[in-house]
Amino acid sequence: MKRIILLILTALSVVQTSAQGQFTVEAPNVVATGERFRLVFTATDLPHETFNPPGIDGLLVLAGPTTSTMNRMEYINGRRTQSRSVSYTYILEAGEPGRYSIGEASIVSDDVTYKTQPVSVEVIRGTAGPAAQGKEEAPVAATGISDEDVFLRLTVSKRRAVKGEPLTATLRLYTRVNVAGAEDIRFPTFNGFWSQEVYAPQQIEWQRENVGGEIFQVATLRSYVLLPQQSGEIRIDPSEIVCVIQVRNTRRGQSLLDEFFDTYQTVRKRVIAPAVTVRVSELPAGAPASFNGAVGKFALKVTPGKDSIQAHDAVSIFVTISGEGNINLLEAPRLQFPPDFEVYDAKVTDNSRSSGGTFSGSKTFEYPVIPRSHGDLTIEPVTFSYYDIEAGQYKTLRSAPMPLSVARNADTSAHGVPIAPGNHRRSVESLGQDIRFISTSLPDWRTRGKYFTGSIAYFILLLSLFVLTGGLYVLLNKRRAHRSDLVRVRNSKANKVAGTRLKTAGMLLKQKLFEEYYEELHRALWGYISDKLALSQADCSRERIVDMLTQREVDGDLIRDYIDLIESCEYARYAPDPGQMEKEKIFDRAVKAISKMEQILKQSML
Amino acid sequence: MKKALFFIALFLSVPALAKTGAIADSLWNRANVLYADTHYQEALDNYMEIERSGKESATLYYNMGNTYFQMRYIAYAILYYEKALRLEPNNPDIAYNLEIAREQCIDRIEPVPVFFVADWIRKSHQRLSSDMWAVISAVLLSSALMFFLFFLFARAVRFRKAAFVIAILAFLLAGTATTFAWQSRKEATRRDVAIVLAAVSSVKSAPGSQGKDLLVIHEGTRVRVLERMGDWARIELADGRQGWVALNEIVFVY
């Protein structure tokens, strides 16, 4: 099957390039025993040729090689093309059944040798097909055209495929009768496939083929490349054709004329190619992230348009994927550009062709980008994954990272980007959203379900606070009681102590020991007030005494008088003698002041 | 003095704290390194070991949530973020990641707006953990008692006045802090919030399979559990709709 397709394709390519020198061979594939057929070698545009005949084994050469020359001249749009072809024709007859090969023939033209491929001819026992030259056609009844005489077949290169794997479907008409034409052709619709016609001849070209020991005329009507787009059992619906078959009248006329001129009858027959199912399996699991449905075998090339540019200049990145497979259906791979790039839609150039039942060639994606800031940037490697049918696994291609140095653009306004001061500022764009990173600092571990609130320790703490306060209260209270006792003792003794001191002072005055007298008087005054106010020796100062006495609502005059007395006692010790009268006067004043004070403080204490 | 007492009490209540803490620390560091190297499964194993040992911290649950998120177990990620929020309700990272995880959920439920005063009160006691509130209340209480003593024993009238006012204020504050401590403990240990872990869960009108299907909720949805009956729980969605789901389809946050 594949060979036939290959043959067709090579024949096609021959037609395409007929302008060059060509040397071709033409022979039927299959012949019946005893059938005569032609073997033609054609040299096109080969001047000064010398033909070296091929070796022909097992086939009887009836005639040949006979040479015929054909010159052709064409004017197309005023251009003249001329071609000359020489053909060498053999008439052969097939003998015994079997496969015979016709060796290569060569032709030497201007010291260049052109060779043909060896051709093999299969000889089978049986009747020759209807279109065999020079053979009488077997009379067939008009109604007797069975499904075995004419049939249509859709052949698919593979019945099992993975999604995206290219298949070839060929619709061929087989006939043993004389098919003059076709009407009402309904070609298959390939639901579930992406399909492309790869062979659609303008005219039906017949070829002979051995089908189950019979020679059939076979015509390839259409050939498609199919790419399955969904998985499962995909049914290709039947295709139909109405054949116009010419049948020679079986009624042998009475007249002699009928013997010479055959009459034909046109019969229409609908032939249907049976439905074909193809089992398409899903691609295996575990596709890499960059897989986007590519199936086949590919190579990846990434080239930047320029290596170094200026900021705000446009540059193109070319990603070329070449190889074979469903290349025409490839989608543009995603490119990771540095963040400050303006990226435009990729421009796609598809250079793929269908050949040999698959697509091959290359597809180029051009990504126009404009870097908006300068620096030595790197375009992330392009990854492209495909499913390799032969290896049965996914393969990932990865390009090298592309360095791109973007120079600072001094003259930005020249590139259509007017930059006014302040206009350059813009808000920081969020490119993506992701969760924040984990916390890495050592945490304070706590035991699950254990809370300080409500725990025994918590209640102990609260209780201890109250207990502590209570304890403090008791302690402070005791101290205060003790202190007030002390005060009371001093208070009650104060008068007595003062009286004793005053008495001593009076004695000293009489003995005329004036210095000691003033000292004793001072002590009496000072000691009385500090005992009364429960002041320690350290706390005792004149200001403090004034303060406290004022607080106890002692008369201001009395306070002033008292302080004055203390001061005059202090002063008198170091001053010159003021005289006896004055000394006695102070003594009286001191006695009066202390008794007055005693009266007032007694009231206030109570 | 009182603070020292508190710490003594704390240490007494958590024996052998230092030893298990050291093991947890080494597991923690290893798991963090594994996470950074994108070995999420191994990192998760280490985190789970810490969790099994009975130790916890908001950051542990946060990291576990992150690991589940990276492994695309969104419902588990949400569960662990919720656990983390229980311990540290005011952590902005946890709230942010929880929001992102929620966006990947199928169900989009508009929550019923909360009265702002209630929200404000909740936010104020969420500012600190229950334990911290307890400590603060203890400090406030001790200062209140001290000022009270001062009030009792101070001689000058104006000092006594000031001490009285301060003591009253400190008592009030201590009372508030104690309330917060208990409230936040209650909230942290309340078994009323659950996350749906089943991929699809149908909410029925009655417990048991005979109930009529009311809604279909998907994994990652947060529900409040109002009551339980056998293997069924009566739940309420954030938008107020209620129904019964099988208990094995939800997991409690606490």
- Is residue B30 one of the residues assigned to a domain? yes
> Which of the listed ranges A141-155, A522-536, B177-191 does the model predict with the highest average pLDDT?
B177-191
Identify which of A464, A473, A480 has the shortest CB distance to residue B5.
Answer: A464
State the SS3 of A175-241: ECCCEEEEEEEECCCCCCEEEEEEECCCCCCEEEEEECCEEEEEEEEEEEEEEECCCEEEEECCEEE
Identify which of A438, A458, A465 has the shortest CB distance to residue B32.
Answer: A438
User: Is residue B35 domain-shared with residue B73, that is, in the same domain?
Assistant: yes
> Which of the listed ranges A100-114, A301-315, B136-150 does the model predict with the highest average pLDDT?
B136-150
User: Confidence class of residue B140 from pLDDT cuts 50, 70 and 90?
Assistant: very high
Ranking A208-212, A322-326, A419-423, B59-63 by mean pLDDT, the lowest is A419-423
Q: B6 and A461: CB-CB below 8 Å? A: yes
What pLDDT is recorded for position A4? 59
Class of domain A291-409: mainly beta
Write out chain A residues lying below 8 Å of B96, CB-based.
435-436
Ranking A127-131, A235-239, A433-437 by mean pLDDT, the lowest is A127-131
Q: A465 and B13: CB-CB below 8 Å? A: no
Give the Å distances, CA to CA, from A327 to A294, A314, A348, B60, B239.
7, 28, 12, 50, 51
Q: Which residues pair with A342 in a beta bridge?
A: A370
Instruction: Find the CATH number of the domain harbouring B87.
Output: 1.25.40.10
User: Is residue B170 domain-shared with residue B127, that is, in the same domain?
Assistant: yes
Average pLDDT over residues A212-231: 82
Query: Number of folded domains in chain B?
Result: 3
User: Confidence class of residue A471 from pLDDT cuts 50, 70 and 90?
Assistant: very high
**Cα-based angle A458, A464, A470 (whole degrees, multiple of 5):** 145
Q: What is the mean pLDDT of chain B?
A: 84
Q: Which of B163, B188, B213 is the last residue of a domain?
A: B188
Q: At what angle do helices B40-52 and B17-36 cross, to 10 degrees?
A: 170
User: Is residue B28 domain-shared with residue B59, that is, in the same domain?
Assistant: yes
Give first-to-last CA distance, chain A, whole Å.
Answer: 136
Query: In the sheet where A375-379 sits, what is the strand order?
Result: A308-310, A402-407, A375-379
The whole-angstrom separation of Cα A386 and Cα A394 is 6
Element (H, E) at A154: strand A150-156
The 8-class DSSP code of residue A326 comes to S
The whole-angstrom separation of Cα A501 and Cα A516 is 11
Query: Among B18, B195, B81, B104, which Cα is nearest to A439's?
Result: B81
Query: In the sheet where B232-236 sits, what is the strand order?
Result: B213-218, B200-204, B242-246, B232-236, B222-229, B193-196, B250-252
CA B182 to chain A, closest CA, distance in angstroms equals 6
Identify which of A439, A456, A480 has the shortest CB distance to residue B13.
Answer: A456
Q: Which CATH number fits domain A2-124: 3.40.50.10860, 2.60.40.10, 3.40.1190.20, 3.20.20.70?
A: 2.60.40.10
Beta carbons of A214 and A126 less than 8 angstroms apart:
yes
- Is residue B218 one of the residues assigned to a domain? yes
Q: Is the pLDDT of residue B16 over 60?
A: no
Residues A436/A442/A444/A450 CA torsion (nearest 10 deg): 70
In the chain, the amino acid numbered A25 is V
Query: Among B171, B7, B246, B64, which Cα is nearest to A460's?
Result: B7
User: Is residue B47 domain-shared with residue B81, that is, in the same domain?
Assistant: yes
Q: Is the pLDDT of residue A139 over 50?
A: no
Element (H, E) at A81: strand A79-93
Average pLDDT over residues A512-538: 79
- Is residue B110 one of the residues assigned to a domain? no
Q: Is the pLDDT of residue A106 over 90?
A: no
Q: Which of B81, B103, B125 is the last residue of a domain?
A: B103
Identify which of A442, A458, A480 has the shortest CB distance to residue B28.
Answer: A442
Q: Is the pLDDT of residue A484 over 60?
A: yes
Pairs of CB atoms within 8 A across A/B: 114
Average pLDDT over residues A494-505: 82
- Is residue B108 one of the residues assigned to a domain? no
Write out chain A residues lying below 8 Å of B135, CB-based.
452
Q: Is the pLDDT of residue B75 over 70?
A: yes
User: Is residue B152 domain-shared with residue B197, that is, in the same domain?
Assistant: no
Domain that holds residue B232: 193-252
Give the Å distances, CA to CA, from A376 to A315, A318, A367, B74.
15, 19, 19, 39
Q: A435 and B66: CB-CB below 8 Å? A: yes
What pLDDT is recorded for position A18? 40
CATH code of domain A142-281: 2.60.40
What pLDDT is recorded for position B164? 92
Identify which of B9, B62, B182 has the shortest CB distance to residue A460.
Answer: B9
The whole-angstrom separation of Cα B222 and Cα B79 is 9
Tell how far CA B176 is from the center of its chain.
20
Average pLDDT over residues A362-380: 83
- Is residue B154 one of the residues assigned to a domain? yes
Q: B149 and A461: CB-CB below 8 Å? A: no
Tokens for A152, please give them.
């249509």
What pLDDT is recorded for position B144? 92
DSSP string, A396-434: EEEPPPEEEEEE--S-GGGGT----TTTT--PPPP----
Write out chain B residues lying below 8 Å of A452, CB-based.
10, 13, 130-131, 134-135
The whole-angstrom separation of Cα A322 and Cα A335 is 18
Ranking A404-418, A510-524, B218-232 by mean pLDDT, the lowest is A404-418
The whole-angstrom separation of Cα A382 and Cα A332 is 11
Q: What is the mean pLDDT of chain A?
A: 78
Residues B95/B100/B103/B106 CA torsion (nearest 10 deg): -90
Query: Among A36, A4, A31, which Cα is nearest to A216's?
Result: A31
User: Is residue B181 domain-shared with residue B206, that is, in the same domain?
Assistant: no
Tokens for A17, please give them.
């390039």
User: Is residue B149 domain-shared with residue B162, that is, in the same domain?
Assistant: yes
Identify which of B63, B138, B182 has the shortest CB distance to residue A439.
Answer: B63
The whole-angstrom separation of Cα B180 and Cα B187 is 10
Cis previous bond, A338, omega within 30: no
In percent, how much of chain A has pLDDT > 90?
1
Q: Which of B188, B211, B230 is the last residue of a domain?
A: B188
Q: Which of B98, B99, B141, B176 to mutate to test the interface with A (most CBs of A within 10 A)?
A: B141
Q: Per residue in A28-39, pLDDT tens?
A: 878 877 778 888
Write out chain A residues lying below 8 Å of B9, CB-based.
457-458, 460-461
Q: Per residue in A553-586, pLDDT tens?
A: 777 888 888 888 888 887 777 777 667 777 778 8
In percent, how much of chain A has pLDDT > 70?
86
User: Is residue B128 domain-shared with residue B169, that is, in the same domain?
Assistant: yes
- Is residue B40 one of the residues assigned to a domain? yes
Q: Per residue in A307-319, pLDDT tens?
A: 778 877 888 888 8
Element (H, E) at B232: strand B232-236
CA A220 to chain B, closest CA, distance in angstroms equals 54
The whole-angstrom separation of Cα A65 and Cα A89 is 5
pTM over 0.95? The answer is no
Of chain A residues 466-485, which have a CB less than 8 A from chain B?
466, 468-469, 472-473, 476, 480
> Which of the listed ranges A120-134, A310-324, A346-360 does the model predict with the highest average pLDDT?
A310-324
Higher pLDDT, B246 or A375: B246
Write out chain B residues lying below 8 Å of A289, CB-based.
none
Q: A461 and B32: CB-CB below 8 Å? A: no
Q: Per residue in B169-203, pLDDT tens?
A: 999 999 999 998 888 888 878 888 899 988 888 88
Is A447 in the B-facing interface, judged by CB distances under 8 Å?
Answer: yes
The whole-angstrom separation of Cα A283 and Cα A285 is 7
Write out chain B residues lying below 8 Å of A444, CB-based.
57
Query: Among A215, A221, A155, which Cα is nearest to A183's?
Result: A221
What pLDDT is recorded for position B165? 93
Query: Among A158, A165, A384, which Cα is nearest to A283's?
Result: A165
Count the helices and strands in chain B (H runs, E runs): 9, 8
What pLDDT is recorded for position A20? 64
The whole-angstrom separation of Cα A106 and Cα A49 is 10
- Is residue B160 one of the residues assigned to a domain? yes
Q: A452 and B130: CB-CB below 8 Å? A: yes
Where does CATH 1.20.120.330 sit in chain A? Answer: 489-605
Q: A440 and B32: CB-CB below 8 Å? A: yes
Q: A451 and B130: CB-CB below 8 Å? A: yes
Q: Is the pLDDT of residue A128 over 60?
A: no
What pLDDT is recorded for position A485? 79
A489-605 belongs to CATH 3.20.20.140 = no
- Is residue B111 one of the residues assigned to a domain? no
